[in-house]
DNA sequence: TCTAAATATTACTCACCAGTAACTTGCATC
DNA sequence: GATGCAAGTTACTGGTGAGTAATATTTAGA
């Protein structure tokens, strides 16, 4: 965290412009982090910004100094989560391999991400918490990820590495199964996100029927 | 709806005691039905009892005439949903057949139920909406259903009709995949609950990998 | 040293909503 | 027909929480 300092440098209590701007960004980040944790634990409506502020040892107007209003706090949180998922989707789509290999890679990353605070917030946030404009944006970004997922499935069906399934329905099924950990996973629990992702992806690809 | 009437009977505007009691039950039911729809559409916290009352053309105190408080409204709704799921679980557990056959039957009924208002409410309601006592009861009943699901999977693994999977993880995966329609399914959409259930169960049993 | 911006606070306003009190009307039974 | 219960109403209370105004304090920089 600390940058390399010149010889015999006594750390100055005075900050440069960049340091101040970085500090501001860090504080903003801390607010979002505290907020997303509370939203996930207690729900958006049941969490007051006073609570969030108190958990950081500050007062509510300080939050308004960094973020416009309560909805913007939520939007920033879900946007961060959506960004993580989108990046995963893009990277996998650009990778080589047949449909099933790439789908498996995506599912694995998706499952692990679902145990991240911001991604959990994406799954736990319903449209009803947002204003019409916010909800429209939210839906659009989710649709983008869903379409990446469908494209991967369609590729696999086309190249024969995936069984000839209904693409839309398969995408719903996979999303449901992989979103669920966002609701029940306990970070303090015994299973690591990695192990959970392994097990889930394997079950989804192979199914429950015994292999002949 | 109307009972068989004696010859030449002119319907009386006066109700018997049973009729009045049935009417009361019917009105109570209508309140729950209107409430669960709104809870599903807008979320519990975002729905006021004034809104629910207005949608029925009555006033809020009337709701309190039939139900104790807002939480009790929610509890009645989720209890109805849990009851439907429990009954399905019990019937399937009592039925004959190998593990896979019975599991498939349960999954199918579960998937269809998930498109019922009360069952959707079960999935969409988080513990945070309830008081500690309410949440404990809610969790206990959900655990019961989960254990039925696990028992069915374990039976199938034992008799060889299901691949040797991790039972806990498989139960999580199945629940996630089947709960999801409760969030996205649009009753006005083109696919019937029956068709959705068929497709999902098939995907879950067979997996995405091509059959050899 | 003086000023302006950034950071934070206390102390409010305003709206919404759960829940209640007190009252009205109508039906049913004695 | 008097009495009492059931079903509703209007009009309130009280609490909570989003968002704001006014203000204090620190720090950067001229």
Residue length of chain A: 212
Residue A7 has pLDDT above 60, yes or no: no
Residue length of chain B: 212
Rounded Cα distance between B118 and A28, Å, is 40
Question: What are the distances in angstroms from CA B166 to CA A205, B101, B153, B154?
Answer: 15, 19, 9, 9
Give span(s): CATH 1.10.10.60, chain B.
Answer: 17-68
Contact yes or no for A56/A30 (Cβ under 8 A): yes
For residue B10, the tally of other CB atoms under 10 A from its CB is 6
**Whole-prediction pTM:** 0.90
For residue B81, the tally of other CB atoms under 10 A from its CB is 25
Give me the helix-helix angle, B117-124 and B70-94, nearest 10°: 110
Residue A9 has pLDDT above 60, yes or no: no
**Cβ contact B153–A208 (<8 Å):** yes
**Cβ contact B163–A208 (<8 Å):** yes
Each residue of A61-75: pLDDT tens digit?
A: 999 999 999 999 999
Q: Please, what are the averages of pLDDT over each run of 10 residues along chain B (212 residues)?
A: 43 59 90 98 96 97 97 98 98 97 98 98 95 97 98 98 98 98 92 97 97 75
Q: Which residue is nearest to nucleotide C16 (CA to C1')?
A: B48
Average pLDDT over residues A161-173: 98
* CATH topology (fold) of B74-206: Tetracycline Repressor; domain 2 (1.10.357)
**Cβ contact A46–B129 (<8 Å):** yes
How many angstroms is C1' of D21 away from CA of A34?
Answer: 27
Each residue of A95-104: pLDDT tens digit?
A: 999 999 999 9
Each residue of A30-70: pLDDT tens digit?
A: 999 999 999 999 999 999 999 999 999 999 999 999 999 99
Contacts of A100 in chain B (CB under 8 A): 208-209
For residue B16, the model assigns a pLDDT of: 60
**Cβ contact A128–B103 (<8 Å):** no
**Degrees to nearest 5, angle at CA B196 with A156 and A92:** 25
The residue ranges of DSSP E strands in chain A, in sequence order, are: none
Per-residue burial over B168-195, b = 16 or more CB atoms within 10 Å of its CB, e = otherwise: ebbbbbbbbbbbbbbbebeeeeebebee
Nucleotides of D under 7 A from a protein CB: 6-11, 16-22, 27-29
Rounded Cα distance between A64 and A79, Å, is 19
Each residue of A179-191: pLDDT tens digit?
A: 999 999 998 999 9
Q: Return the residue of B nearest to A197 by Cα.
A: B169
For residue A5, the model assigns a pLDDT of: 42
- Sequence-distant (6+) residues with CB within 8 A of A114 are A120, A123, A178, A179, A181, A182, A185
Eight-state DSSP code of residue B134: H
Rounded Cα distance between B116 and B80, Å, is 10
* Secondary structure (H, E, C), B93-111: HHCCCCHHHHHHHHHHHHH
Q: Return the residue of B nearest to A179 by Cα.
A: B176
Contacts of A163 in chain B (CB under 8 A): 206-211
Average pLDDT of every residue of chain A:
92
Contacts of A172 in chain B (CB under 8 A): 180-181, 184, 200
From the candidate CATH numbers 1.10.10.10, 3.40.50.261, 3.60.15.10, 1.10.10.60, the one assigned to the domain spanning B17-68:
1.10.10.60
pLDDT category, A3, cuts 50, 70, 90? Answer: very low
Distance from CA of A181 to the nearest CA of B (A): 8
Eight-state DSSP code of residue B162: S
Residue A14 has pLDDT above 60, yes or no: no
Contact yes or no for A74/A125 (Cβ under 8 A): yes
Give span(s): CATH 1.10.357.10, chain B.
Answer: 74-206
Report residue B64 CA to chain centroid gap.
Answer: 24
For residue A101, the tally of other CB atoms under 10 A from its CB is 15
**Cβ contact A180–B176 (<8 Å):** yes
Per-residue burial over B32-58, b = 16 or more CB atoms within 10 Å of its CB, e = otherwise: bebbbbbbbebbbbebebeebbeeeeb
The lowest-confidence range among A21-25, A105-109, A165-169 is A21-25
Question: What are the distances in angstroms from CA B2 to CA A206, B6, B11, B26, B144?
Answer: 53, 12, 10, 14, 39
Of A162, A192, A203, A195, the C-alpha closest to B153 is A203
């Amino acid at each position: 965290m600390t940058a390399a300092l010149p010889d015999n440098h006594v750390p100055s209590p005075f900050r440069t412009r960049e340091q101040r701007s970085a500090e501001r960004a860090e504080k903003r980040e801390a607010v979002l982090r505290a907020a997303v944790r509370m939203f996930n634990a207690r729900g958006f409506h049941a969490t007051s910004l006073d609570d969030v502020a108190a958990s950081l040892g500050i007062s509510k107007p300080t939050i308004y100094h960094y973020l416009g209003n309560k909805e913007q706090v939520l939007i920033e949180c879900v946007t961060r989560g959506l960004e993580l998922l989108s990046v995963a989707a893009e990277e996998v789509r650009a990778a080589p391999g047949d449909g099933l290999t790439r789908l498996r890679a995506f599912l694995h990353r998706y499952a692990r991400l679902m145990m991240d605070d911001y991604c959990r917030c994406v799954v736990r946030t319903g449209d009803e918490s947002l204003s019409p404009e916010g909800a429209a944006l939210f839906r659009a970004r989710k649709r983008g990820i869903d379409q990446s997922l469908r494209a991967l499935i369609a590729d696999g069906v086309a190249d024969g590495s995936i069984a000839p399934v209904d693409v839309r329905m398969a995408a719903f099924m996979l999303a449901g199964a992989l979103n669920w950990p966002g609701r029940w996973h306990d970070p303090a629990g015994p299973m690591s996100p990695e192990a959970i992702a392994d097990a889930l992806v394997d079950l989804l690809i192979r199914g429950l029927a015994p292999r002949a």
